[in-house]
Structure 1
Amino acid sequence: CTAYNVIAFHANLKSNLNNLSQNTTIKFENVQLNKGNGYDPATGMFTAPEDGVYSFTWSFLTNKRGTVYIAAVVDNVDHVHTCINNQQSTYINTSGHLIYELKRGNKVWIRTWYLPATFIHGGYYTYFSGSKINSI
């Protein structure tokens, strides 16, 4: 077994977001954990501090008639799309997961895609997290 440095982060939104343009990077400002200092709340981007396999998860909550299309992006390339088009429920959420091999300096972030996002609920309902799960 090879020992490696713990690299992990978890951050959520401080407040609700309304009417975000298409291709807007979501900045999760409320950082709960940032081992390895890879996540930057000012940009909303995670930068891999070292080579490895990483796991990322995210979850978003919207209200009735809320529309949110989310992309998980690695170095300007979309890798996972999740979406909500809520016409029925008072609130509804979606989540996503990405496992990806990163080199030191690769960047991962969450952004809107396809259509503008009408409403994203802040607080602990909406988050982005990631961790290194193996060295290369």
Structure 2
Amino acid sequence: MLNIPKLIIVCCAVLSLRCVQATSPPQFLKDINGYRSACKSIGWEPKQDCAVYNVVAFHANLNSHLNNLDPNTTIKFENVQLNKGNGYDPNTGIFTAPEDGVYSFAWSFLSKVGGTVYLAAVIENADHAHTCIGNQQSSYISASGHLLYELKEGNKVWLRTWHVPATFIHSGYYSYFSGSKINSL
């Protein structure tokens, strides 16, 4: 009679011993397929194949300085460095979730002497995080923010000014907006 728990322990031991040995890429793939076949023969199936995971990630920064923006102005980060999944639209400044999942968003901005900037991270027209620089007195200063949030396909995320007019936001790599899906639901 087949003892499944002992067979699983033996398979795991063999796998761990094989993992420490150096193999060529073709041999490694052959070995992995063999292990998958062995696991399948005892009824074990993985929950999700790593090969079907879709990468969703974007990173964009400003092309030019922004001056005297009214409150509730969406910031458009036009210089797109990365846009896997095509969720970010530089024409609108809005990220639209291409699929359900937990997402991580980060942003940073730089202002100069006398600068005042209040930014809100917005999801579906509701503020979820605020960052600000108020009446900056040194040469330059930056502020940054981070937000983790569970999104459904089609949910929209963007950064906008709030509270008071934004007097100056520096362009280039100093001011950016980025996000990525970190987990599927």
- TM-score bracket relative to the smaller structure: over 0.9
Residues 15-51 of structure 1 show CA distances to partners (whole Å, capped at 9, x for unaligned) of 1000000000000000000000000000000000000
Following superposition, the deviation at residue 85 of structure 1 comes to: 1.2
Q: Does 1:35 align with 2:74?
A: no
SS in 2 for 1:133: strand
**1:62 alignment partner AA:** S
Of 85, 98, 110, which residue of structure 1 is paired with 2:159?
110
Matches within 5 A, 1:5-84: 5-84=54-133
**Runs of 4+ residues deviating >6 angstroms:** none
**1:134 alignment partner AA:** N
The total of aligned residue pairs comes to 136
User: What percentage of residue pairs aligned between the two structures are identical?
Assistant: 76
User: Whose Rg is larger?
Assistant: 2
Following superposition, the deviation at residue 86 of structure 1 comes to: 3.8
Q: Using the alignment, how far apart are the partners of 2:153 and 2:130 within structure 1?
A: 24
Q: Using the alignment, how far apart are the partners of 1:92 and 1:8 within structure 2?
A: 27
Q: Using the alignment, how far apart are the partners of 2:129 and 2:66 within structure 1?
A: 21
Following superposition, the deviation at residue 87 of structure 1 comes to: 3.4
| Structure with larger RCO (C-alpha < 8 A, sep 6+) | 1
Following superposition, the deviation at residue 88 of structure 1 comes to: 2.0
Contact 1:86 1:92 (8 Å CA) reproduced = no
Q: Using the alignment, how far apart are the partners of 2:124 and 2:109 within structure 1?
A: 22
Contact 1:12 1:123 (8 Å CA) reproduced = yes
Contact 2:115 2:135 (8 Å CA) reproduced = yes
Stretches of structure 1 lacking an aligned partner (at least 5 in a row): none
Greater helix percent: which structure? 2
Residues 79-136 of structure 1 show CA distances to partners (whole Å, capped at 9, x for unaligned) of 0000001432100000000000000000000000000100000011000000000001
Greater strand percent: which structure? 1
Contact 1:58 1:96 (8 Å CA) reproduced = yes
Contact 2:111 2:136 (8 Å CA) reproduced = no
Q: Does 1:89 align with 2:138?
A: yes
